[in-house]
Amino acid sequence: MLSERRLEVLRAIVQDYVGTEEPVGSKALTERHRLGVSPATVRNDMAVLEEEGYIAQPHTSAGRIPTDKGYRLFVDRLAGVKPLSTPERRAIQNFLDGAVDLDDVVGRTVRLLAQLTRQVAIVQYPSLTRSTVRHVELLSLAPARLMLVLITDTGRVEQRLVDCPAPFGEAALADLRARLNSRVVGRRFTDVPTLVQDLPESFEPDDRGTVSTVLSTLLETLAEEAEERLMIAGTANLTRSGHDFPLTIRPVLEALEEQVVLLKLLGEANESGMAVRIGHENAYEGLNSTSVVSVGYGSGGETVAKLGVVGPTRMDYPGTMGAVRAVARYVGQILAES
Amino acid sequence: MLSERRLEVLRAIVQDYVGTEEPVGSKALTERHRLGVSPATVRNDMAVLEEEGYIAQPHTSAGRIPTDKGYRLFVDRLAGVKPLSTPERRAIQNFLDGAVDLDDVVGRTVRLLAQLTRQVAIVQYPSLTRSTVRHVELLSLAPARLMLVLITDTGRVEQRLVDCPAPFGEAALADLRARLNSRVVGRRFTDVPTLVQDLPESFEPDDRGTVSTVLSTLLETLAEEAEERLMIAGTANLTRSGHDFPLTIRPVLEALEEQVVLLKLLGEANESGMAVRIGHENAYEGLNSTSVVSVGYGSGGETVAKLGVVGPTRMDYPGTMGAVRAVARYVGQILAES
DNA sequence: CTCTGGCACTCGTACGACCCGAGTGCCAAA
DNA sequence: TTTGGCACTCGGGTCGTACGAGTGCCAGAG
């Protein structure tokens, strides 16, 4: 077990390194922080911290930098979440309040988050699986061709073309539309499959094929939407990284283009709280020298999607976590209002 | 006027520089290209080319590199468009054929273009202004609340909420829906305003307010869509740029997040042919050390949107132009089929 | 008039020697 | 357990040198 002072030394190292981006030595530490002990003592502590794997030296005769394990300890036990200042909160609220539709909300959120944290921000569109159906519309485009439009309570609209196995009359169409809506409007997406299961049976034999096709398209749409959309902003912030440039930035840009990777990344966020993945804790190896801070957001206590930022492991964790949490709360509020 | 051989020398310089990314000297030139003259002669030619502003030396006693003006001449007079190989064409076709909807088409196109050119690709969604209306749907969500759904011939769907000034009956709604569709289906967006102008008059006085509201929402939707959407891919390719890294990449990433800038960029594409903007020819100064190759695409000879790539001025112009043109053609075909 | 070979000159880069200083580890004393 | 002292390490910066690629110019040949 590490003594209180050693933890204090680790905290000081992390803070200084995050600020200066340079390895920090024992002397500099005692000067910048009121540790109440001499450099020599700090050196001893550092030796212990290094032995335990919390810090490392890039080269002999250089200062120390925190390891992933060091950051982990820092985040878990040494640092709180730094709340935003009141003006900052005000600015968030004002900025998000101007949004006109869902795309705009997500767009503003992601830009805001990128600007606040000066890192790459990722916002997932509100998930359909947690949402409810507001309306299902069926349009006849041609005798054997329908369009299915799904409207969700989060304001999202999805449409699909349906090719019918047989022509489908207007009367049957109206019938199907009415029955479908009476069953699924207001219901959870996850509940829909069982709710419509027996629907084909109540139609004329000739029409059952079409009804089944429509239903399976509907279910497909819901399922497919597990493949969620994302919005990204602030990639230019990657260039802040400093000197170790090209090697770091490349794989990150590549990862950012892989929706699947990003969804997994956000997916690791703990349902309830904030998730911080540091360096090698990230499954995707291109992100081994970055950290991801993510959290779920939603209206009314329910998580409908996630958002987060990607930045260098050497990041201001308390500040970043504060910004991420605050933005998640406000966007949740906005969604609840609309 | 430059002699034939001097142009040949310029071409050789451009080609070598694009290949090696290093300033090219007179000796190397005569070795790699069969110019039929001695290095000394080439040196004289280079001196002239430099005087005319087509090439420059980074430092005294270094080789020459092309200037923007040099690339311009190269593109205009010295280089053709390099057609893709048959296997490449095949691959494009196969890849694009797998697309299931418009988002997918655009997504596949942009990724394909990024991969082919190894640069940053930008694809604009097919514009609504050039398209025709396939269907307009009106849904009643609440007594005084409608949803307007617009479906275009390019498969795009836009929806808008409409708050009515007064409750609007189902009968009137069906009436409006029918009349609206009979007038606008199959028509150009630009023609719609005049086509629906007198529609409110044919309704009961109580309903006219709502009809007008619906119509103005429809027209707004069409107009708003001048603000087009874009898709981007291949930002990781920016890291190929070489050594002059951070200073180059930063402003480009910033520009890529500014939809407005990008739309202007593509907008500069000549309606008919391909547009190549080299270095300082770009209005946006962050892109002063990059070139943009863009072209319109569309189905049936009509330009519905544009696509292009952004890369270093030192790019393979013939190859890039070939890829851009080919992709534009194929995506046009795909759109025509669907 | 154009091309060519030769030659002196420039300058950027790579290499090695060198010094400096920050930082360390260890040890003996408080 | 903490502290001050001390010898040691080693990365980074500076300087000087040698090298070589590339140039411009010039005189002579075609």
pLDDT in tens, A112-167: 999 999 999 999 988 766 678 888 888 887 788 888 888 877 667 777 888 888 88
Give B96→chain A minimum CA distance, Å.
Answer: 19
Q: What is the pLDDT of residue B294?
A: 95
Cβ-Cβ contacts under 8 Å, B254 against chain A: 236
Q: Which residue in B234, B239, B257 is closest to A249 by CB distance?
A: B239
Looking from the CA of A222 toward its CB, the CA atoms found within 13 Å total 20
The pLDDT of B185-213, averaged and rounded, is: 87
* A55 beta carbon to strand C: under 7 Å: no
Residues of chain B with a CB closer than 8 angstroms to some CB in chain A: 134-135, 137, 139, 141, 147, 149, 151, 157, 159, 233-236, 238-239, 245-246, 249-250, 253-254, 256-257
**Phi and psi, residue B76, nearest 5°:** -70, -40
Q: How far apart are CA B12 and CA B27, in angstroms?
A: 12
Q: Which of B113, B108, B110 is nearest to B124 (CA)?
A: B110
* B99 beta carbon to strand C: under 7 Å: no
Least confident of A48-62, A95-109, B173-187: A95-109
Give, for B4, the enclosing helix (H) or strand (E): helix B4-20
Q: What is the pLDDT of residue B5?
A: 86
Cβ-Cβ contacts under 8 Å, B225 against chain A: none
Mean pLDDT computed over every residue of chain A: 87
The pLDDT of B242-250, averaged and rounded, is: 69
The pLDDT of A186-209, averaged and rounded, is: 87
CA-to-C1' span, B289 to C14 (A): 29
Q: How far apart are CA B33 and CA A34, in angstroms?
A: 69
Q: What is the pLDDT of residue A269?
A: 66
Q: How far apart are CA B135 and CA B146, in angstroms?
A: 16
* B37 beta carbon to strand C: under 7 Å: yes
Minimum-distance nucleotide, CA of B39 to C1' = C4
Write the CB contacts of B289 (distance below 8 Å, at least 6 apart in sequence): B248, B279, B312, B313
Q: How confident is the model at residue B21 (pLDDT cuts 50, 70, 90)?
A: confident
Q: How far apart are CA A137 and CA A140, in angstroms?
A: 10
Long-range contacts made by residues B93-96, C-beta under 8 angstroms, separation at least 24?
B93/B330, B96/B330, B96/B331, B96/B334
Q: What is the pLDDT of residue B246?
A: 62
pLDDT tens, position by position, B102-158: 778 899 999 999 999 999 999 998 876 667 888 888 888 778 888 888 887 766 777
Minimum-distance nucleotide, CA of A43 to C1' = C24
Dmax of chain B from CA atoms? 90
Q: How far apart are CA A8 and CA B181, in angstroms?
A: 72
Give A141→chain B minimum CA distance, Å.
Answer: 8
Q: Of A145-159, B145-159, B190-204, B323-337, where does the model show the most confidence? A: B323-337
Q: How far apart are CA B287 and CA B276, in angstroms?
A: 13
- Are A233 and B257 in contact (CB < 8 Å)? yes
Q: Which of B160, B155, B149 is nearest to B104 (CA)?
A: B155
- Are A157 and B149 in contact (CB < 8 Å)? yes
Distances from the Cα of B253 to the Cαs of A196, A252, B86, B107, B198, in angstroms?
Answer: 47, 13, 34, 19, 48
Q: How far apart are CA A231 and CA A306, in angstroms?
A: 11
Q: How far apart are CA A120 and CA A197, in angstroms?
A: 44
Q: Which of B84, B117, B114, B112 is nearest to B98 (CA)?
A: B112
Cβ-Cβ contacts under 8 Å, B238 against chain A: 253
Question: With contact defined as beta carbons under 8 Å apart, do A126 and A154 qualify?
Answer: yes
Q: How far apart are CA A332 and CA A307, in angstroms?
A: 11
* Residue A265 Cα to chain centre, angstroms: 8
Q: How far apart are CA A300 and CA A335, in angstroms?
A: 9
What is the amino acid identity at position B271?
E
Provide the edge-to-edge strand list for the sheet that holds A305-312: A230-233, A120-124, A305-312, A290-297, A275-278
Query: Searching chain A, which residue's CA lies closest to the CA of residue B254?
Result: A236
Q: Which residue in A137, A151, A236 is closest to B250 by CB distance?
A: A236
* A92 beta carbon to strand C: under 7 Å: no
Q: Which residue in B139, B157, B235 is closest to A253 by CB distance?
A: B235
Question: With contact defined as beta carbons under 8 Å apart, do A113 and A266 qualify?
Answer: no
* A41 beta carbon to strand C: under 7 Å: no
Q: How confident is the model at residue B200 (pLDDT cuts 50, 70, 90)?
A: confident
- Are B151 and A151 in contact (CB < 8 Å)? no
Query: Do you know the residue count of chain A?
Result: 338
Strand-pair partners of A64: A24
Q: Which residue in B134, B235, B245 is closest to A235 by CB distance?
A: B235
**Optimal mutation site among A135, A180, A217, A257, interface B, most CBs of chain B within 10 A:** A257
Write the CB contacts of B216 (distance below 8 Å, at least 6 apart in sequence): none
Q: How far apart are CA B140 and CA B164, in angstroms?
A: 11
- Report residue A109 as tokens: 């959120």
Question: With contact defined as beta carbons under 8 Å apart, do A231 and A123 qualify?
Answer: yes
Which positions of chain D lie under 7 Å from any protein Cβ? 2-5, 8-11, 20-26
Place of tokens 């590549």: A254
Give A236→chain B minimum CA distance, Å.
Answer: 5
Strands B305-312 and B290-297: antiparallel
- Helices and strands (H, E) in chain B, number of each type: 12, 10
- Helices and strands (H, E) in chain A, number of each type: 12, 10
The residue whose CA lies nearest the C1' of nucleotide D2 is A41
Q: How far apart are CA B79 and CA B318, in angstroms?
A: 6
Question: With contact defined as beta carbons under 8 Å apart, do A327 and A112 qualify?
Answer: yes
Cβ-Cβ contacts under 8 Å, A115 against chain B: none
* B107 beta carbon to strand D: under 7 Å: no
Question: With contact defined as beta carbons under 8 Å apart, do A284 and A264 qualify?
Answer: yes
Cβ-Cβ contacts under 8 Å, B137 against chain A: 137, 139, 149
Share of chain B above pLDDT 70, in %: 93
Q: Which of A207, A149, A143, A153 is nearest to A176 (CA)?
A: A207
Higher pLDDT, B118 or A170: B118
Q: Which residue in B149, B235, B246 is closest to A245 by CB distance?
A: B246
- B275 has a pLDDT exceeding 60: yes
Q: How far apart are CA B94 and CA A201, in angstroms?
A: 40
Q: Which residue in A134, A233, A250 is closest to B239 by CB distance?
A: A250
CA-to-C1' span, B275 to C16 (A): 52
Q: How far apart are CA B27 and CA B62, in angstroms?
A: 12
CA dihedral B243, B247, B249, B253 (to 10 degrees): 170
- B295 has a pLDDT exceeding 90: yes
Q: Which of A209, A230, A273, A274 is nearest to A120 (CA)?
A: A230
Write the CB contacts of B302 (distance below 8 Å, at least 6 apart in sequence): B130
DSSP helix/strand/coil, B198 = coil
Q: How far apart are CA A221 and CA A134, in angstroms?
A: 15
Higher pLDDT, A175 or B269: A175
Cβ-Cβ contacts under 8 Å, A256 against chain B: 235
Q: Which of A90, A115, A128, A108 is nearest to A305 (CA)?
A: A128
* A32 beta carbon to strand C: under 7 Å: no
Place of tokens 């988002």: B103
pTM, entire model: 0.80
* B38 beta carbon to strand D: under 7 Å: no
Strand-pair partners of A233: A121
Question: With contact defined as beta carbons under 8 Å apart, do B291 and B278 qualify?
Answer: yes
Q: Which of B335, B332, B291, B316 is nearest to B84 (CA)?
A: B316
Which positions of chain C lie under 7 Å from any protein Cβ? 3-6, 9-12, 21-27
